[in-house]
Chain A
Amino acid sequence: MRPNIIKVGFLRGGLEIKQFMRQRESVVFTLLFPVMLLFIFGSVFKGELAPGVTFSQYFVAGMIASGLVNTGFQQLAIMIPIERDFGTLKRLRGTPVSPISYFIGKAILVFVAMIVQVAALMGFGAALFGLNLPDTAEKWLRFIWLVLLGSICSTILGIAFSAVPKNGRGASAVVSPIVIILQFFSGVFFVFSTLPQWMQQFAALFPLKWLTQGMRSVFLPESFATQEVAKSWEIPQIAIILLVWTVLGTILALKTFKWSDK
Chain B
Amino acid sequence: MANDLAGLAISVRGLKKSYTSKASGTKDAVAGIDLEVSRGEIFAILGPNGAGKTTTVEILEGYRNRDSGEVQVLGQDPAMLGNDSWAWRNRIGIVLQSTNDSQDLSVSETVRHFANYYSNPRNPEKVIHEVGLEEKESARISTLSGGQRRRLDVALGIIGNPEILFLDEPTTGFDPEARRAFWDLIRKLRDEGTTILLTTHYLDEAEALADRVAVIVDGKIIEVSTPENLGGRNTAKARVSWYENGTKQEIESDFPAAEVAKLSAKFGGEVPELTVIRPSLEDIYLKMIGQL
The answer to whether A and B assemble together is yes
A interface with B by C-beta (< 8 Å): 1-3, 7-8, 11-12, 15, 18-19, 22-23, 83, 86-88, 90-91, 93-98, 260, 262
Interface centre among B87, B92, B101, B160 (most CB of A within 10 A): B101
Q: Give the chain A neighbours of B101 by CB distance below 8 A.
A: 83, 86-88, 91
Judging by beta carbons under 8 Å apart, are A93 and B102 in contact? no
Judging by beta carbons under 8 Å apart, are A11 and B99 in contact? no
In the complex, what's the smallest C-beta–C-beta distance from A86 to chain B, in angstroms?
A: 5
B111-119, B206-214, B229-237, B260-268 - the one binding chain A: B111-119
**B87, B90, B102: which contacts A88 (Cβ < 8 A)?**
B102
CA distance A3 to B86 in the complex (A): 10
Q: Give the chain A neighbours of B119 by CB distance below 8 A.
A: 1-3, 96
In the complex, what's the smallest C-beta–C-beta distance from A193 to chain B, in angstroms?
A: 45
Render B164-186 as a binary contact track against A, CB cut-off 8 A, 1 for contact.
00000000000000000000000
In the complex, what's the smallest C-beta–C-beta distance from B217 to chain A, in angstroms?
A: 24
Judging by beta carbons under 8 Å apart, are B99 and A94 in contact? no
Judging by beta carbons under 8 Å apart, are B117 and A18 in contact? no
CA distance A96 to B115 in the complex (A): 11
Q: Interface size for chain B: under 10, 10 to 19, 20 to 34, or 35 or more residues?
A: 20 to 34
Q: Can you show 26 pairs from A to B with CB atoms below 8 A apart?
A: A1-B119, A2-B87, A2-B90, A3-B117, A8-B117, A11-B113, A15-B105, A15-B109, A15-B113, A18-B105, A19-B105, A86-B99, A86-B100, A86-B101, A87-B98, A87-B100, A88-B101, A90-B96, A91-B94, A91-B99, A91-B101, A93-B63, A94-B61, A96-B85, A96-B117, A96-B119
B interface with A by C-beta (< 8 Å): 61-64, 85-87, 89-90, 92, 94, 96, 98-102, 104-105, 109, 113-114, 116-119, 156, 160
Q: Give the chain A neighbours of B104 by CB distance below 8 A.
A: 18-19, 22-23
Judging by beta carbons under 8 Å apart, are B102 and A262 in contact? no
Q: Give the chain A neighbours of B96 by CB distance below 8 A.
A: 87, 90-91, 94
Judging by beta carbons under 8 Å apart, are B63 and A95 in contact? no
Q: Give the chain B neighbours of A7 by CB distance below 8 A.
A: 116
**B63, B87, B116: which contacts A260 (Cβ < 8 A)?**
B63
Judging by beta carbons under 8 Å apart, are A11 and B116 in contact? yes
Q: Give the chain B neighbours of A19 by CB distance below 8 A.
A: 102, 104-105
Q: Give the chain A neighbours of B92 by CB distance below 8 A.
A: 94
In the complex, what's the smallest C-beta–C-beta distance from A17 to chain B, in angstroms?
A: 11
**B63, B85, B105, B113: which contacts A90 (Cβ < 8 A)?**
B63
Query: What 18 new A-B contacts, CB under 8 Å, besides A12-B113, A90-B96, A91-B101?
Result: A2-B86, A2-B87, A2-B119, A3-B117, A3-B119, A8-B117, A18-B105, A19-B104, A22-B104, A87-B96, A87-B99, A87-B101, A90-B63, A91-B96, A91-B99, A94-B63, A95-B89, A95-B114
In the complex, what's the smallest C-beta–C-beta distance from A81 to chain B, in angstroms?
A: 13
Judging by beta carbons under 8 Å apart, are A96 and B87 in contact? yes
Judging by beta carbons under 8 Å apart, are A96 and B160 in contact? yes
CA distance A3 to B89 in the complex (A): 13
Kindly report which residue of chain A lies nearest to residue B90, judged by CB atoms.
A96
In the complex, what's the smallest C-beta–C-beta distance from A190 to chain B, in angstroms?
A: 38
**A1, A87, A88, A97: which contacts B117 (Cβ < 8 A)?**
A97
Q: Give the chain B neighbours of A91 by CB distance below 8 A.
A: 94, 96, 99, 101, 156
Knowing A8-B116, A260-B63, say if A96 contacts B99 (CB, 8 Å): no
Judging by beta carbons under 8 Å apart, are A98 and B105 in contact? no
Judging by beta carbons under 8 Å apart, are A96 and B109 in contact? no
Q: Give the chain B neighbours of A260 by CB distance below 8 A.
A: 63
In the complex, what's the smallest C-beta–C-beta distance from A100 to chain B, in angstroms?
A: 11
Judging by beta carbons under 8 Å apart, are A98 and B63 in contact? no
Judging by beta carbons under 8 Å apart, are B99 and A18 in contact? no
In the complex, what's the smallest C-beta–C-beta distance from B205 to chain A, in angstroms?
A: 22
In the complex, what's the smallest C-beta–C-beta distance from A33 to chain B, in angstroms?
A: 21
